[in-house]
Amino acid sequence: MFDVPVPDPAARTAALERLDGLVKPLGALGRLEEIAAWLAAAHGTVPPRPLDDVRVVVFAGDHGVSALSAYPREVTAAMVRVFLAGKSGVNVLAAQVGARVRVADIAVDWDGADVPASVTAHKIRRGSGSIDVEDALLPGEAQAAFEAGRAIALEEREADVLIPGDMGIGNTAMCAALVAASLGLPATEVVGTGTGVDAAGLERKTAAVAAALTRTAGRTEDPFERLTALGSACMAATAGFLVQAAVLGIPVLLDGVFSGAAALVARDIAPGAEQWWLAGHRSTEPSQAFALKALGLEPILDFGLRLGEGSGAVQAVPTLRAARAILAEMGLLADLA
């Protein structure tokens, strides 16, 4: 069991009272007011602390169902180098909000000997099994990867906000299977086009997810068994990262379909952890909508994004900062002359 703290209810109440007293009609700032009260509860103070230190951790790994993707598996390893060079989508977007990006190779199918040791420090394995015909992980690997994710969160514990990113060709099929197994849904409702497969590709992808669900029927009630059967090492690491962030009381902005699926599993492992997470944006993948509904989370942004990497969540950071600013800087009706 994990000792997940409860966001400070007194701070939330105080924030709501202050919001009602600001120089505006009641509730006029809508969702910003909800987010402001959430941040105040997370920080235990009104106004919340400045959100200066925002960190993205991209969990990278290959998936056995990568043949279903519109892109070859080798792209994952190539993208790790792009992250390190600061040239990826999330690098560029994170720079706009002053966020730092770290990439962690949890299960990339490459040697990786020429990258900094910190990138591969928590590596569990090379790739994962093809979930339509075999388990993704060996016994014990899901737990090991979960602990690796917890360790990474501890290494980033000075952050004001944490964002889990992802990189791995084939990951949307795995996410669909994991969400379906978590919520008892059929493959046809959760599978999307991912990186942009055509109609025939979507049919093959749906069939593979359906086969994975049939193969693992009756085995997925336990979250670690679910990760072993249908997940991946980087998915398990992301779940550990989310749980440890909640234990530490660090606010988290979830990204897209990958972190949504990880959050479902993390919530099963550590009930109450979801109180520390916000959904940064709405993915085009259908399984994310099911995951967020189950978690009781409403996306902040809806830009039609499907890049992953944490790229959607970083664009929600200015909204969090704006929510904090209204508590910190707006005047009170009571002070009007």
Catalytic residue numbers, as ranges: 309
| DSSP state at residue 160 | S
Q: Return d(Cα 225, Cα 246) in angstroms, integer.
A: 22
Alpha-carbon separation of residue 242 from 29, 75, 137, 247 (angstroms): 29, 26, 20, 9
- Distance from C-alpha of 40 to C-alpha of 314, rounded to nearest angstrom: 20
Which element (helix H / strand E) includes 261?
A: helix 257-269
Phi and psi dihedrals of 212, rounded to 5? Answer: -65, -40
Compute the distance between CA of residue 34 and CA of residue 19 in angstroms, rounded to an integer: 10
Number of CB atoms found within 10 A of residue 209's CB: 31
Phi and psi, residue 246, nearest 5°: -65, -40
Could you tell me which of 274, 314, 316 has the C-alpha nearest to residue 42? Answer: 274
Dihedral angle sign, alpha carbons of residues 326, 328, 334, 337? negative
DSSP labels, 80-142: HHHHHHT-SHHHHHHHHTT-EEEEEEEE-SS--TTS-HHHHTT---SS---TTTS-SS-TTHH
Q: Are 91 and 137 in contact (CB under 8 A)?
A: no
